[in-house]
Amino acid sequence: MNEKRDSLFSELKQIKTKLEEISISDLFNSNPKRFDDFSVSLDDMIFDYSKLHINKDVLSKLFDVAKICEVEEKRDAMCRGDKINITENRAVLHTALRNDINKPIYVDGKNIMPDVAQVLEKMKAFATDIRSGKILSSSNEKFTDIVNIGIGGSHLGPEMVAKALSPYCDGPKVHFVSNVDSSHISDTIKQLNPATTLVIVASKTFTTIETMTNANSAKKWLVNSLGEKAANLHFAALSTALEKTKAFGICDDRVFGFWDWVGGRYSIWSAIGLSVMLAIGAEDFQEFLNGAYEMDEHFKTTPLEQNMPIILGLIGIWHTNICDYATRAILPYDERLSRFTAYVQQLDMESNGKRVTSSGEEVQVKTGSIVWGEAGTNSQHSFFQLLHQGTNIVPCEFMLAVNNHEDDMKIHNDLLIANCLAQSQALMNGRDINEVIQILKENGLNEEEIAKLSPHKVFKGNRPSSTLMYKRLNPKTLGKIIALYEHRVFVEGAIWNLDSFDQWGVELGKELATKMLSHLQDSNTDKENMDASSIGLLNTIKSWNEDK
């Protein structure tokens, strides 16, 4: 399979060399239907990839790559519950969490859908009762604030979604604590009243050191103020490790479980979404799940040529493996998606930042693009200089909501949209030297001044970008967008032949941090095999430590 894929990659590289003779804007000039040919829609969402440097030959070869790499077969294997997470011997079934309850999915011969439905119902009942005040705090008050303590997938998803859906948040105010840095929990709880705060400990494993340290500090805060017994009424847990949640002192009816076939970075649809449900309500959360379900159905049933996640994934392959672009920028012109890039960083880079294939061989092609970005228009006043005139080409993924939620602020929306469209246009068309000289002449500059200034004002253009545009960022649309990005990661991982669902790369650092902690707490530990830099830093820390 890899040889056939790599030979298609070689053919694609040849096509690319020829294509370099034609600019993206010339591709538009020679095909008036280019926008139609290179865009795909799903309901109220359109993905426009016509401003990429591709043509029909490129696309058709990329579809061949998808076929050779059996992307559709692998997708079907994932969705029916095959154990495609080889290194952990686990199924990968985040799609089950938003599946129609009546469509069975089997893991180890058992239909998992009744369990999925049961936890979802338990979450809905709990969220509804907290929001209505049926469940009260230990002092018989309504909960006003929720603190979600979790990290990685147990944080990035809930935080991003809560922010994205803030116009729909009409429940208790949700706060997020993730970093083990004491400032994070301390700055969060100091603004809160313990008597009306519910702390949710979100951890798939319930062992993650950052989360458990923060959870213990939160417990101390609650116990100090409310007493041990009352404090327990201010906790809930989201985890697969039910015996550990019990040991922490959280009663079973406040524990919301999930399963080992839900990866951390794919867990927003599971009990991990409880803080979001508390904020937006059960109905809107269901809409969020429905949106993802619609994208799943599209992914599962649409032919390659119109399949949005497959097209996104193949574009990723084009940019990483054929064009050799190491990074890509995600640019949501949608302030409420300002945490989306951070979310996709975990989703994409923890999934596909791998150097061996599923079967353990070194990969022979580049994998895992580096994702970065910022919400527009802030990004324009920051790194767009490099995007327009730097020597690195960075494919840009614009995201744009056509309607805002602020009816009386149309001018903001018009400006936002205008900027987004203008940036993708500027990246593609650029501005050549003749136009620059003409403008400078019109501005009254003399020849010497023009010669000095003009090179700095040239934009070479021909820089690729795509635009994902949607009517409005509502729960359903957000569900679709996240599922789209999940499946895109899947498609790339399938082509690279990776296990996109493990994350061994995070383990070594965790292990060493545990050892380092013992060196920090006891300066007499054996440091014989330690490098001189670490010893030097430890010694300096010891001499600077003001607690000593």
Residues that bind ligand F6P (CB under 6 A): 150-154, 203-205, 208, 211, 264-265, 350, 503, 506
Inter-residue contact 400 to 333 (CB < 8 Å): yes
Residue 350 or 499: the one with the smaller Cβ distance to ligand F6P is 350
Half-sphere exposure of 488 (CA within 13 A, CB side): 22
∠ CA(91), CA(497), CA(305), 5° rounding? 95
State the nearest-atom distance from the C-beta of 512 to ligand F6P, in Å. Answer: 14
Nearest approach, Cβ of 516 to ligand F6P (angstroms)? 17
Tokens standing for 124? 């809905």
3-state helix, strand, coil in the chain (%, to 5): 55, 15, 30
* Single-letter residue type at 255: V
Q: How far is CA 367 from CA 88, 324, 351, 495, in A?
A: 21, 11, 10, 10
- Give me the least distance between CB of 15 and ligand F6P, in Å please: 37
**Residue 215 CB, nearest approach to ligand F6P (Å):** 10
Give CA–CA dist 481/20, Å, rounded. Answer: 32
Q: Write out the two tokens for 372.
A: 């970065």
Catalytic residue among 110, 134, 381, 412: 381
Among candidate residues 294, 350, 486, 492, the one labeled active-site is 350
Decide: helix, strand or coil at residue 276. Answer: helix
Q: Return the number of the residue (279 or 349) whose C-beta is nearest ligand F6P.
A: 349
Say if CB 340 and CB 371 are below 8 A apart.
Answer: no
Which residue in the list 110, 510, 515, 542 is annotated as catalytic?
510
Q: How far apart are CA 307 and CA 45, in angstroms?
A: 13
Give the 3-state secondary structure of residue 227: coil
Smallest gap from residue 209 Cβ to ligand F6P (A): 9
CB-neighbour burial class of residue 169 (10 A; exposed 0-12, middle 13-18, buried 19+): middle
CB of 175 to ligand F6P, least distance (A): 18
Q: Which amino acid is at 195?
A: A
User: DSSP character for 43?
Assistant: T
Nearer to ligand F6P, 152 or 316 (CB): 152
Least separation in angstroms between CB 379 and ligand F6P: 26
- Cβ distance to ligand F6P smaller for residue 211 or 474: 211
Nearer to ligand F6P, 264 or 316 (CB): 264
Tell me if residue 510 is catalytic: yes
Q: Which is nearer to ligand F6P, 154 or 466 (CB)?
A: 154
Catalytic annotation present for 381: yes
User: In whole angstroms, how close is the CB of 252 to ligand F6P at the nearest point?
Assistant: 19
**Residue of 259, 260, 273 lying closest to 157 (CA atoms):** 273
**Of 47, 125, 175, nearest in space to 281 by CA:** 125
Considering beta carbons, is residue 264 or 464 the nearer one to ligand F6P?
264
3-state secondary structure of 478: helix
Our CA dihedral for 176, 178, 184, 190, rounded to 10 degrees, sits at: 40
State the minimum distance, in angstroms, from the CB of residue 218 to ligand F6P.
15
Q: Between 417 and 516, whose beta carbon lies closer to ligand F6P?
A: 516
Half-sphere exposure of 90 (CA within 13 A, CB side): 16
Nearest CB to ligand F6P, comparing residues 12 and 151: 151
Of 256, 279, 304, 305, which is closest to residue 121 (Cα–Cα)?
256
Half-sphere exposure (CA, 13 Å, Cβ side) for 122? 19
Cα–Cα distance measured from residue 531 to residue 306, given in angstroms and rounded to the nearest whole number = 54
User: Any catalytic annotation for residue 184?
Assistant: no
Ordered DSSP codes for 421-434: HHHHHHHHH-B-HH
* Residues recognised as catalytic: 350, 381, 510
